[in-house]
């Protein structure tokens, strides 16, 4: 399969690539912002999964130019079977204390990134009347919590986009699956004081995505909520 993953240099994005490559031989189209971290991740993947092919191009998806240029780089070389919109960052903050910069940054990174990447990729999927899109949201869309207001607002906007896409793309045989993970172990938590909560492994979440992506095209999964048990 031709698989596009955003935010693939670490955390969940990288775990998703690994989990797909463990189960089959695929062509991956990967991006992240930092060129060196992405190149290091891709070198590691190439050495470990020699039967898959890995293409990468660094872009800052928080800008419209970066997101659109990644989408057009993908569209020039592949007909995607799967798009995984994984890019996202967490930022704590109470509503009354937040700056407008905080909301803008969260919206750019967590919502507009997926908006413009998807807008660039979807015409290719529509032309082939097939495809699967996975949007990485957050359990905060199901159970919002205090002290993350801009983050949660941006994820709700992304959930709205996802619901719109599901309605509009169904007639083109393109499925859209929302993934709502609870807290999992990743660099997202660097420098943030965590509650005393158990963290899931990103690989456990990635394996659920692979399971859904490799099911019959006739079975659609709209939502998956994952939390530590």
Ligand X SMILES: NC(=O)c1ccc[n+]([C@@H]2O[C@H](COP(=O)([O-])OP(=O)(O)OC[C@H]3O[C@@H](n4cnc5c(N)ncnc54)[C@H](OP(=O)(O)O)[C@@H]3O)[C@@H](O)[C@H]2O)c1
Binding footprint of ligand X on the chain (CB under 6 A): 7-13, 31-34, 37, 59-62, 86-90, 109, 113, 136, 138, 181, 183-184, 186-188, 202
Label residues 126-144 b or e (16+ Cβ within 10 Å = b). beeeebbbbbbbbbbbeee
Q: How far is the CB of 90 from ligand X (least distance, A)?
A: 6
- Quick one: which H or E segment has residue 149? helix 149-169
Q: How far is the CB of 162 from ligand X (least distance, A)?
A: 12
Q: How far is the CB of 169 from ligand X (least distance, A)?
A: 21
Please state, in angstroms and as integers, the Cα–Cα distance from residue 162 to each residue in 73, 118, 157, 168, following that order: 23, 10, 9, 10
Q: Which is nearer to ligand X, 11 or 80 (CB)?
A: 11
Read off φ and ψ for residue 83, nearest 5 degrees: -120, 125
Q: How far is the CB of 154 from ligand X (least distance, A)?
A: 9
Neighbours of 11 (CB within 10 A): 20
Q: Which is nearer to ligand X, 50 or 187 (CB)?
A: 187
Q: Which is nearer to ligand X, 21 or 87 (CB)?
A: 87
Q: Which is nearer to ligand X, 49 or 90 (CB)?
A: 90
* Cα–Cα distance, 71 to 113 (Å, whole number): 11
* Cα–Cα distance, 102 to 150 (Å, whole number): 7
Q: Which is nearer to ligand X, 35 or 77 (CB)?
A: 35
Q: How far is the CB of 120 from ligand X (least distance, A)?
A: 14
* Token pair of 102 as six digits: 């905080």
């Amino acid at each position: 399969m031709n698989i596009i993953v955003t935010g693939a240099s670490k955390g969940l994005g990288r775990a998703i690539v690994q989990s797909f490559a463990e189960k089959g031989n695929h062509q991956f189209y990967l991006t992240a912002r930092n060129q060196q971290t992405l190149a290091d991740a891709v070198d590691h993947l190439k050495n470990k999964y020699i039967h898959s092919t890995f293409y990468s191009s660094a872009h800052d998806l928080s800008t419209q130019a970066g997101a659109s240029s990644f989408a057009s780089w993908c569209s020039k070389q592949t007909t995607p079977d799967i798009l995984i919109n994984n890019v996202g960052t967490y930022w704590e903050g109470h509503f009354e204390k937040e700056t407008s910069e905080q909301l803008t940054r969260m919206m750019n990174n967590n919502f507009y990134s997926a908006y413009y990447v998807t807008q660039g990729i979807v015409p290719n999927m529509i032309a082939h009347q097939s495809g699967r899109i996975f949007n990485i949201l957050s359990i905060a869309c199901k159970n919002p919590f205090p002290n993350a207001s801009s983050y949660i607002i941006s994820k709700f906007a992304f959930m709205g986009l996802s619901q719109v896409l599901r309605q509009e793309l169904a007639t083109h045989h393109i499925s859209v699956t929302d993934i709502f993970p609870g807290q999992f172990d990743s660099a997202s938590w660097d420098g943030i004081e965590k509650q005393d909560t158990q963290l899931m492994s990103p690989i456990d979440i990635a394996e659920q995505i692979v399971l859904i992506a490799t099911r019959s095209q006739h079975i659609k999964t709209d939502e998956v909520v994952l939390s530590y048990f």
